[in-house]
Amino acid sequence: MELYPYIKSLHLIFVVTWFAGLFYIPRLFIYHIEASQKPSPEKEILSDQLRLMTKRLWYIITWPSAVLCTVFAVWLLIIMPAWLQQPWMHVKLVFVVLLIGYHLKCHKIFRQLQKDEISYTPRFMRIWNEGATLILFAIVFLVVLKNAFNWIYGVIGIFVLAILLMLGIRLYKRIRDKNPNA
């Protein structure tokens, strides 16, 4: 138990850095997709730079953070096995599985873009970018509120947040269409 605060602190640090990578990587995907639509030589210069930036972010920050976050989470569950008996933890673990799925899908997109295979639109990637945000909100509220969490309001809140994010994306698109430098 003496190690608990250190393990928890390290887990939280790597949660933050993992999410930092997951928040930024889709932005780089968007820039890469948009660069592919530019004329030469701008297209090649931007694509080369974005491939390098994405590769560094993915392999130096995001993947190591995901692995270390998971290692410290498992360690916490080993020293606090009672958590596995609590319903909020079961729901949290479902969201963690969704987060891992999101991460793996980002990896697939990353590999495609490293080969300049464009399968998605910038708009799709802007929407995709909000996936990690929704998962983060769900996990933080579950962990902080635990049993006091009202499931109905929580589910409604996540849907309201998703709707607000979508409206924000649409508003940004309108502003950007009117002023391409925005």
- Over the stretch 98-138, which tens digit does the pLDDT of each residue have? 999 999 999 999 999 999 999 999 989 998 998 999 899 88
Residue 140 and residue 92: Cα distance in Å, rounded? 9
φ/ψ region of 146 (left if φ > 0, alpha if ψ in -120 to 50, else beta) reads: left
Annotation-wise, does 11 bind a ligand?
yes
Other CB atoms closer than 10 Å to residue 38's CB: what's the count? 13
Question: pLDDT grade, residue 172 (50/70/90)?
Answer: confident
Residue 103 and residue 8: Cα distance in Å, rounded? 22
Q: Are 129 and 23 in contact (CB under 8 A)?
A: yes
Whether the predicted pLDDT of 173 surpasses 60: yes
Give the total number of structural domains in the chain: 1
Question: pLDDT grade, residue 168 (50/70/90)?
Answer: confident
Annotation-wise, does 107 bind a ligand?
no
List the domain range (segments joined by +) for residue 110: 4-178
